Amino acid sequence: MILTRPGVSTPQELLEKAAVKELLEFERFCRDNGLWAEMKKCFAEDSTVNISWYQGTGYGFVDASSKMKNRAPHKIYNTEVWLNGDKAVAVMMVTIGTRMKIDGVPLEMSSDAKLIYRTKKIDGLWVIAAFDIIYEQDAITPVFPSGNFDLPSSELSGLRQSYACLTYTMKRNGLSVNNELAGIDRPDLVEKLYNEVDKWLCH
């Protein structure tokens, strides 16, 4: 069902899709602006999150996000929603950006990804049931052209191509990173995730 061209939607279905999109964009807005209490309201009590640096409940994800040292604002490009009754799956295309200093040099880490949300309607409101991610590519660049920064290739050796820079910066901040997540360098894991999400939506 997901990743297929949408058919003709009824006015009510269009309203529901818009509500799902609003929920997810608001969740990211809360994440970027430190609105932790409001962000927590976006998740179901039994929700799960599985991303590079965190695996656990939605509520735990909000709490862990509130303790992170570096801001990581999101640029949202597009969000596609597939609806099936009181369930919906959304794929949101984003770039995650983080400013940091390494060896005194201001740097920008950017990560392109697809955020995969499973949502459900409870008591008339859409909430997030599960949040996964598909990593595409990332990069580290000096903020200023004169920035003299050299990242030895040995530092990235053995890291996943789709989120090597993200893993590097996370580990420098003392976070452990799951190296077995869906990414375009592991199409088998991407297919597995999409199949799992599609099965959830259709049942």
DSSP codes joined into one string, 59-85: HHHHHHHHT-SS---EEEEEEEEEEET
Q: Which of 120, 110, 65, 60 is nearest to 90 (CA)?
A: 120
φ, ψ at 159 (rounded to 5°): -90, 150
Residue 27 sits in a domain whose CATH number is 3.10.450.50
Strand order, beta sheet including 87-102 = 55-57, 43-50, 125-142, 105-122, 87-102, 74-84
Residue 1 in any domain: the answer is no
pLDDT tens digits for 101-157?
Answer: 888 889 999 999 999 999 999 999 999 999 999 999 999 999 988 767 888 888 888
Residue 148 in any domain: the answer is yes
Residue 162 in any domain: the answer is yes
- Report pLDDT for 174: 83
Residue 194 in any domain: the answer is yes
- Report pLDDT for 139: 94
In a structure prediction context, what are the per-residue pLDDT tens digits for the chain, which is 203 residues long? 899 998 889 999 999 999 999 999 999 999 999 999 999 999 999 999 999 999 999 999 999 999 988 788 999 999 999 999 999 999 999 999 998 888 888 999 999 999 999 999 999 999 999 999 999 999 999 998 876 788 888 888 889 999 999 999 888 888 888 999 999 999 999 999 999 999 999 99
Total tally of structural domains belonging to the chain: 1
Residue 3 in any domain: the answer is no
Domain range spanning residue 79?
A: 11-202
pTM (2 d.p.)? 0.93
Residue 51 in any domain: the answer is yes
CA distance 146 to 23: 41
DSSP codes joined into one string, 87-146: EEEEEEEEEEEEEEEETTEEEEEEEEEEEEEEEEEETTEEEEEEEEEEEEEEEEEESSTT
Residue 4 in any domain: the answer is no
Residue 171 in any domain: the answer is yes
- Report pLDDT for 149: 81
